[in-house]
Amino acid sequence: MSGGTADEGVATGETLMEVDGMSKYFQSEGGFLASLRGAADVKAVDDVTFDIKKGETLALVGESGCGKSTLARTILQLHRPTEGSIRFKGTDLTDLSSREIRPLRQDMQMVFQDPHSSLNPRLKVGQIIEEPMKAHDMYDAAGRRERAEKLLESVGLEAAHYHRYPHEFSGGQRQRVNLARAFSTDPEIIMCDEPTSALDVSVQAQVLNVMKRLQDEFGVTYLFISHDMSVVRYVADRVAVMYLGHVAELAEKEALFENPKHPYTRALLDSIPVPDPRSTGERGTLAGDVPSPTNPPSGCRFRTRCPKLIQPGTYDVTREELADDAAGAALQSYDLDEPTWRNVIGFVRAVDRRSFTLENVEDSPDAVRAFLDERFFAGSTPSGEPADVIDDAARLLAEERWDEAADHLRTTFEEPSICAARRPAYVLEEDVEEERFVACHLYRDSETDSSH
């Protein structure tokens, strides 16, 4: 059941859209000169590649600032991408002018989050549903009317509601009107940006069920954006987890939830409180804050918070890949065992975030070192070169030179890691037909490497 454009009907399961190397940058303030340098750009989406298959529900999940909304809107050409291409049924949308894209919008519709501001309060609901059809010259007036009434029924309202105004409906009912409007042009793909986040729990379920039913009936593809993993688990076929403009992981739903590979996915899933007081798993907590999108970390953007940061020296990294001061600070050998390495990184981050105080500790480097040993290294303390660096840091901390200590530690222990040097991107071939994408160097040795 394809929509209004060309006859290259895509079969269910085949690729409908290909996003290739797409980036979207926004300019933030910073004055004329800074913007020329591109220094102040907000890199909302950075070099993202994936496919969308016909008939599926692909969920984009992530927390605020991860870029999921921007990604979806750029795909649907609400923004023009800064770089990269988006192929829709074979045609590259970035090659087209705004005028040429317009007729294609029949096939690309959207539903937004806020049920109140998305409906024109001056129009009747029936007229609202007809608008897209009118815009694309579909049917005649009678035909549009008939279709609008049928759609009202499809979404669980009544044909007679055609004459009512938006304010006469509840939030959940308004979202149904939004859906009816989106389906009016029989589109190929509908982007839903947090369609149920503003709704009450019980209403949410109603709307999600309507969405599922409509998908079965019309065979549409959903690009579903949400921050709510529970909702995603209910509606999605495949899930793409985003973090700070990158796709961290893309996998089939069950695979992702049952066996998350990327540490961020795992942390995200672990953070969610489960509605069961007997659930035994300890809820994990991810420390720290999301870095600024104008100055994101190099390599893997999650590396500043990742509990599984890879020790430098584990993988070969060329000098060019490292930042200058990282290259200079890298030790000859690290060779720390896992527990010690975790302690070291915990310490490095604690200094960076200043999450502890030395108020009650004597000013001498020895006293500081002893305090640090007890607090961060109990059980496994490093020796050799790494120990020297930590001694240096202790000395700096004793002199209240926190910034220098943080820099020193970071450039020695974090920056030379492969996680900081190179952006990870790996496609794993699992035993299921679906490929699985993980942007994490932990999977470096598993099958295909499609890093660029």
Partner 1 sequence: MSNETILEVDGLKTHFYTEQGVVRAVDGVSFDVREREIVGIVGESGAGKSVATTSILRLIEEPGQIVDGEITYRDLTIVGFEEQDDGTLTPREAMLSNREMRDQVRGNEIAIIFQDPMESLNPVYSVGHQVTEFIELNRELSGGDARQEAIDMLREVGIPEPENRFDDYPHEFSGGMRQRVLIAMALGCRPTLIIADEPTTALDVTVEGQILDLVKDLQTKYGTSFIWVTHDMGIVAEICDRVNVMYLGEIVEQGPVDDIFHDTKHPYTQKLLESIPRPDRTVTELDPIAGTMPSAINPPRACRFHTRCPDARVACTEVEPRFVAVGNDADGDGDEHEGEHNDHRTACIKYDDVGYWDSVPLEKVGDRDIQYVGDRS
Partner 2 sequence: MTLLRYTIRRILQAIPVLIGISFITFVLVNALPGDPVAIMLEGQEVDQETIEAVERRYGLDRPFHERFVTYMLGLIQGDLGYSFHRDMPVSTLMWIRLGPTLLLVISAFVFALVTAVPLGVLAAKRRNEPTDHVSRIIALIGVSTPSFWIGIMLILIFAVWLGWLPSGRLVYPWRDPAHYGFDGRLELYYQTIRHLLLPMVALGTLQMATIMRIERSSMVESLQEEYVQLARAYGVPERTILRKHAFRSAQLPIITIVGLNLSTALGGAVLIETVFEINGMGRLLIQSIQQLDYQVVMGVTIVLATIFVIGVIITDISYAYVDPRVSYGDRD
Residues of this chain that interact with partner 1 (CB under 8 A) are 63-64, 170, 172-173, 200-206, 208-209, 227-231, 233-234, 253-254, 257, 267-279, 283-287, 289-290, 353-355, 357
- Per partner kind, with CB cut-offs from 5 to 8 A, the member of partner 1, partner 2, none near residue 259 is none
Nearer residue to partner 2 within complex by CB, 33 or 201:
33
Give the nearer residue to partner 2 in terms of CB position, either 32 or 338: 32
Identify which of residues 291 and 346 has a Cβ nearer to partner 2 in the complex: 291
CA distance 173 to 207: 8
Closest approach, Cβ 270 to partner 1, in A, equals 8
Cβ nearer to partner 1, comparing 174 with 408: 174
CA 41/CA 410 separation, integer angstroms: 25
The interface partner of residue 294, options being partner 2, partner 1, none and the CB cut-off 5 to 8 Å by kind, is: partner 2
Contact 166, 174 (CB under 8 A): yes
The neighbouring-strand residues paired with 86 are 19
Q: How far is the CB of 348 from partner 1 (least distance, A)?
A: 14
Q: Which does 63 bind (CB under 5 to 8 A by kind): partner 2, partner 1, none?
A: partner 1
442 touches which of partner 1, partner 2, none (CB within 5 to 8 A by kind)?
none
Name the minimum Å distance from CB 93 to partner 1.
31
23 binds, among partner 1, partner 2, none (CB under 5 to 8 A by kind): none
Nearest residue to 408 (alpha-carbon basis) of 422, 426, 392: 392
Pick 327 or 350: Cβ nearer partner 1: 350
Q: Choose the contact partner of 394 out of partner 2, partner 1, none; CB within 5 to 8 A by kind.
A: none
Cβ–Cβ under 8 Å, residues 255 and 432: yes
Choice between 40 and 191, CB closer to partner 2: 40
Strand locations in 227-366 (E): 238-243, 246-252
Distance CA(139)–CA(136), nearest Å, equals 9
Is there a contact between 133 and 147 (Cβ–Cβ < 8 Å)? yes
Nearest CB to partner 2, comparing residues 31 and 281: 31
Closest CB 39 distance from partner 2, rounded Å = 10
The entry of partner 1, partner 2, none near residue 86 (CB within 5 to 8 angstroms by kind) is none
Nearest distance, CB of residue 265 and partner 2, angstroms: 31
Tell the smallest beta-carbon distance from residue 31 to partner 2 (Å). Answer: 6
Residue 298 contact partner, candidates partner 1, partner 2, none, CB within 5 to 8 A by sort of partner: none
Distance between CA atoms of residues 403 and 400, nearest Å = 9
CA–CA dist 423, 303 (Å, integer): 10
CA gyration radius, the chain = 26
* Residue 128 Cβ vs partner 1, minimum distance, rounded to whole Å: 20
Q: What is the Cα–Cα distance from 43 to 311, expressed in whole angstroms?
A: 27
Residue closer to partner 2 (CB basis): 34 or 269: 34
Token duo for residue 300: 């893997």
Q: Which helix (H) or strand (E) holds 16?
A: strand 15-27
HSE-up of residue 19 (Cα within 13 Å, Cβ side): 24
Q: Which residues pair with 23 in a beta bridge?
A: 83
| Partner whose footprint covers residue 29, from partner 1, partner 2, none (CB < 5 to 8 Å by kind) | partner 2
Q: How far is the CB of 398 from partner 1 (least distance, A)?
A: 17
CA distance 396 to 104: 61
What is the DSSP pairing of strand 41-53 with strand 189-193? Answer: unpaired
Q: Which of 70, 65, 68 is nearest to 80 (CA)?
A: 70
Which CB, 109 or 204, lies closer to partner 1?
A: 204
In the complex with partner 1, which residue's Cβ is closer, 27 or 279? Answer: 279
- Residue 122 Cβ vs partner 2, minimum distance, rounded to whole Å: 26
The single residue listed with the structure tokens 């800074």 is 34
Query: Which positions touch partner 2 (CB under 8 A)?
Result: 28-31, 34, 40, 294
Contact 104, 94 (CB under 8 A): no
Considering the complex, what minimum distance in angstroms separates the CB of residue 171 from partner 1?
9
